[in-house]
Amino acid sequence: NAGVMQNPRHLVRRRGQEARLRCSPMKGHSHVYWYRQLPEEGLKFMVYLQKENIIDESGMPKERFSAEFPKEGPSILRIQQVVRGDSAAYFCASSPPRTDGIQYFGAGTRLSVL
């Protein structure tokens, strides 16, 4: 049973470009969460999605950031017009419908903005 799969592992973008981060949840998991980890800081919740629904995006910046989890395919975190402050590790986690808070994390995508 494969774990949470994220790709790419490393992504380099120049300022103003778009970054697309992908996440495939564990088999049988229908809930996906995105977190951002800045250096020397803890993981910060960004968004919680179920298939075709955004449940909670309270942690997402209001501009430039969007997320989706389509009926088919991986969840996508999209950052438009990236800036240097977007450089961070972005982690995806997944859980089954009944979770008691337990989430399983992917290996993360490390975004570097030049």
Q: Is 36 in the site for other proteins (CB under 8 A)?
A: no
Nearer to other proteins, 43 or 88 (CB): 43
- Measured between alpha carbons, how far is residue 57 from residues 3, 32, 43, 70, 74 in Å? 24, 12, 15, 16, 18
Q: Retrieve residue 36's tokens.
A: 């951002």
- Measured between alpha carbons, how far is residue 87 from residues 1, 3, 40, 96 in Å? 31, 25, 13, 30
Interface with other proteins (CB under 8 A), residue from 48, 65, 69, 90: 48
Residue type, 95: S
Which range, of 12-20, 21-29, 34-42, 71-79, touches other proteins by CB under 8 A?
34-42
Q: Is 104 in the site for other proteins (CB under 8 A)?
A: yes
Nearer to other proteins, 21 or 43 (CB): 43
Binding site for other proteins (CB under 8 A): 4, 31, 33, 35, 40-45, 48, 55-56, 59, 91, 95, 99-108
